[in-house]
């Protein structure tokens, strides 16, 4: 393992268009902040890249120095893979370009772009692709792990809509990965995370969506949750693919359409996005309105880009976050009872448990068509522990783990890799299942020394953990 000399850093800086920050530099502390405040790491060098040339220089520098290497896109990854202690961070956040070609329905997206950046450009032409639910999330990390959101039932996972990517590999080559070029690499990056290199450009297929959708929230008292979830479970069987409904169980935030006396009480909210014809919206969401007598509801036409930002106030950076996740094929009674027990013991007003409905188009791709394999998941469940005081760490983490263990008998056994926390590296194989051996083979070809290992790591053949 090497250390950084001032001469080597000066040489790197002279080769960059971006900037290289070290501890003590004016903007270093700000540059090492990421979304999850539980992650506290101090890199030796943060290189804020402004283009592919900077990325290639920094990959070569990391390879030559032997220091740990992390890659930051949006900095949202729950496990904190965007930072490493004492190593080098390739910070892609300055690379935010999003170029849309409406005639071909293609978007060309740099890895520092957020969902908000993407939607701003694509919605100018009434176009979209399935991405997540929080506008400050980075497109890169979300996509490389699979990616899903409000449009996935119609158009599939984010990786199902990835047409091609430019990627800097461990040896510094810039490769184009697509169905026709470096097809094994293209297979691997569609779900395999940042294990194979640094993507410097994503090419997505776009679909006509918006600029308005019909949606919103229906909020019920949690006492009605069991009956509502049984009705939800039944409704899903015949729900059209242009309607997506997620359930969120938590304490009521101070939403303006809820009476003040409801704020802070246990609720189950059904979040709805209908992307079909606006005039059909009221009829499409009526099934959800019949789940029970609500505390309140807010439904109607709204800009798709605004709906993509609707949950931003509950997902701001700087809080402490700990997640546990399962993939589900159904919502059995036993799971609903387990949910009821967990909501009765919420350790923080910000903690929540959601069932994110996918299915539809996500099921119509073969499990081995790309690295993301979980084509039998109808719901992605996330136990979202969230709080602000470090003194609450043990209590909130224990709550999340307890529900995770109690709900395990009702789960598929697989997991969405983007929801794995830093202490769940043993579940990487569960994330990839039957695709793991092929992923190891691709990793061995493109990154035999495991340079890109600060992630939910797929180790190359013959590599011990942490080796380079």
Whether this prediction's pTM lies above 0.85 is answered by: yes
Q: What is the pLDDT of residues 233-289, one digit of tens each?
A: 999 999 999 999 999 999 999 999 999 999 999 999 999 999 999 999 999 999 999
pLDDT value for 263:
96
pLDDT value for 464:
62
The average pLDDT across 173-182 equals 98
CB atoms within 10 A of CB 292: 20
pLDDT value for 330:
96
- Per the CB < 8 A criterion, the answer to whether 115 and 51 are in contact is no
Please give the Cα distance from 253 to 118 (Å, whole number): 28
Q: Is the pLDDT of residue 1 over 50?
A: no
pLDDT value for 423:
87
* CATH architecture of the domain with range 98-208: 2-Layer Sandwich (3.30)
Average pLDDT, the chain: 95
Q: Is the pLDDT of residue 61 over 80?
A: yes
Please give the Cα distance from 32 to 83 (Å, whole number): 7
Please give the helix or strand (H or E) that residue 398 lies within, else none.
helix 393-407
- Quickly name the fold that domain 212-425 has: Vanillyl-alcohol Oxidase; Chain A, domain 3 (3.40.462)
Phi, psi for residue 312 in degrees, rounded to 5: -55, -40
pLDDT value for 2:
54
pLDDT bracket for residue 467 (50, 70, 90) = very low
CB atoms within 10 A of CB 47: 28
Q: Is the pLDDT of residue 364 over 50?
A: yes
- Per the CB < 8 A criterion, the answer to whether 1 and 67 are in contact is yes
pLDDT bracket for residue 4 (50, 70, 90) = confident
Burial 157-176 (b: 16+ CB within 10 A, else e): bbbbbbbbbbbbbbeeebbe
- Quickly name the fold that domain 6-91 has: 3.30.43
Which residue has tokens 């190891």? 440
Which residue has tokens 């902040």? 33
Provide the residue ranges of all domains of the chain, joining segments of one domain with +. Answer: 6-91, 98-208, 212-425
pLDDT value for 277:
97
Please give the Cα distance from 80 to 90 (Å, whole number): 14
pLDDT bracket for residue 424 (50, 70, 90) = confident
Q: What is the pLDDT of residues 86-129, one digit of tens each?
A: 999 999 999 999 999 999 999 999 999 999 999 999 999 999 99
Please give the Cα distance from 404 to 418 (Å, whole number): 16
pLDDT value for 41:
96
Judge whether 98-208 and 212-425 match in fold.
no
Please give the Cα distance from 253 to 120 (Å, whole number): 27
The average pLDDT across 380-398 equals 96
The average pLDDT across 187-210 equals 97
Q: What percent of the chain has pLDDT over 70?
A: 99
pLDDT bracket for residue 466 (50, 70, 90) = very low
């Amino acid at each position: 393992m090497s250390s950084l000399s001032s001469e080597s850093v000066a040489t790197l800086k002279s080769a960059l268009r971006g900037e290289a920050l070290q501890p003590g530099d004016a903007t270093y502390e700000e540059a090492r902040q990421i979304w999850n405040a539980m992650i506290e790491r101090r890199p030796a060098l943060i290189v804020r890249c402004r283009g592919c040339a900077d990325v290639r220089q920094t990959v070569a520098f990391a390879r030559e120095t032997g220091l740990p290497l992390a890659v930051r896109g949006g900095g949202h990854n729950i496990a904190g893979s965007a930072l490493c202690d004492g190593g080098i961070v390739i910070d892609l956040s300055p690379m935010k370009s999003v170029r849309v070609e409406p005639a071909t329905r293609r978007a060309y997206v740099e890895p520092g772009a957020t969902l908000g950046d993407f939607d701003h450009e694509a919605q100018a032409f009434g176009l979209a692709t399935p991405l997540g639910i929080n506008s400050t999330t980075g497109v890169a990390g979300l996509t490389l792990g699979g990616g899903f959101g409000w449009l996935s039932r119609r158009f599939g996972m984010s990786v199902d809509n990835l047409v091609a990517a430019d990627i800097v590999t461990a040896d510094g080559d810039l490769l184009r990965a697509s169905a026709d070029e470096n097809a094994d690499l293209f297979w691997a990056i569609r779900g395999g995370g940042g294990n194979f290199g640094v993507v410097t450009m994503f090419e997505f297929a776009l679909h006509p969506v918006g600029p308005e959708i019909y949606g919103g929230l229906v909020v019920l008292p949690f006492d009605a949750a069991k009956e509502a979830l049984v009705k939800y479970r039944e409704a899903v069987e015949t729900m059209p693919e242009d309607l997506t409904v997620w359930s969120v169980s938590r304490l009521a935030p101070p939403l303006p359409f809820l009476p003040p006396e409801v704020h802070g009480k246990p609720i189950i909210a059904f979040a709805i996005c209908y992307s079909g014809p606006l005039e059909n919206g009221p009829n499409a969401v009526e099934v959800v309105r019949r789940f029970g007598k609500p505390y309140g509801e807010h439904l109607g036409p709204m800009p798709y880009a605004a709906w993509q930002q609707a949950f931003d106030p509950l997902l701001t950076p700087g809080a402490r976050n700990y997640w546990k996740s399962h993939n589900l094929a159904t919502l059995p009674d036993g799971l609903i009872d387990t949910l009821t027990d967990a909501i009765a013991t919420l350790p923080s007003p910000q903690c929540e448990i959601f069932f994110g409905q996918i299915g539809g188009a996500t099921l119509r791709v073969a499990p081995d068509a790309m690295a993301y394999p979980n084509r039998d998941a109808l719901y992605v469940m996330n136990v979202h522990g969230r709080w602000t005081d470090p003194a609450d760490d043990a209590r909130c983490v224990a709550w999340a783990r307890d529900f995770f263990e109690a709900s395990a008998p009702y789960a598929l056994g697989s997991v969405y890799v983007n929801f794995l926390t830093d202490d769940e590296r043993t579940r990487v194989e569960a994330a990839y299942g039957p695709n793991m051996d092929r992923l190891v083979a691709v990793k061995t070809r493109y990154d035999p020394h495991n340079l890109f290992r600060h992630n939910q790591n797929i180790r190359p053949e013959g590599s011990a953990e942490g080796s380079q």
